[in-house]
Structure 1
């Protein structure tokens, strides 16, 4: 498991488990199977069941009965988001200098200020920065998803959408650092590197040896892969994928991405094999 500073929330792990392995069981897990998978990720039974209960109360997990056995399925809306995110997770599109910018200009009445918070949170999660209080900016590649997401959330009635060029003279790198918290994002990439980069070499050595992995090896792969993927999923959206020319020297994203892709290529199959064994043993 990664260090404590890099451990994803229990609820995030549950969503990842459904996204990765729910299709093997018709989209739902027996409670015992879900608890067992979480146990293999270092979460005790009481905490696991508490997490399931919270997700059920939020409508993220939906309860089902199968021959009297309790099962839970992931909400279709959440699963759709997980599935649609695959391309940006593995191949985010980086913009180029001179590409147009996307602008979302929004205004929310004071009486609905909770909706203003929701709108800003959605835009932030899609990689937008903020030029001013009601003006969000991102590369043009972000606009289609932003329009779709705000419409789905009932937030597009507060927003107008524009595409344009930046015309002010000077070094745009200084402006970009004001619109996005690049220092925070770079630290998060560095944390990811600290947690996972060093793990790549021993797994590469195992893979190059060409020897079958033991059950313990597959469990180790599962324990590493699921949290790693869960943590990585946030980056392609928090990161606006600006041109490298606009970013600070020593930007950590390419190095972090290489660590992720290396481990993903090695760990995905043995982690899945462990999950398959566990689900079969639990009749899931």
Structure 2
């Protein structure tokens, strides 16, 4: 199966390396789209083609495109990808908090007969949330705790370097959280889409100077009973704002497309 990547930053590079190491199934990376003028690849045979424009990128023979860039890039290029009849794995799931964008992408996927897939990212348990949603889910809360350095720039009125104890930066609807903190809470968007929506899902974002790793806790209650899950994640190499598990979930999502025997979901 031929695959393309939009965004060749930390996560895109991890995915590309996994494909080269045959950890992502029977997949070939044939194209990469990014904004840098110079290709990060050599000129040797077997290297993926490198593009800075979406039109020639989409002309490449590939069945699936993985977006690992940003919400803005996903909103710009996502409709073009699906409109071209290519399956899309989207990592910047916060973009789907925009209802108009969500509906546009859903309609395009139906029209073009392809799929839009959202990996679990830095959390798990989404299969349980989806199953619980068959009946009634009363409440879902996501508490994300990160070291201050992983939250740099999220609040211009707060000097994170001065924090000496765990500090609640935000508590409220997931829909607002993914807009205010787009580089930190894509998990909130994915959880909201799997469960009770952006307005009813509660997000708590905490900066903890004593924390060395990113943590996510999910608490849910409904007709199924109660669910309590906690994840302590190693930051992604070279990018403390992203959990390594998120990159691994992208690899797993690609591998799932190549397998006939599936567990969960």
**TM band (smaller chain):** under 0.3
Structure with a larger share of its residues in helix: 1
TM norm structure 1: 0.24
Please tell me whether Structure 1 or Structure 2 has the larger radius of gyration of its CA atoms: 1
TM norm structure 2: 0.25
Q: Which has the higher contact order (CA 8 A, sep 6+)?
A: 1
Structure with a larger share of its residues in strand: 2
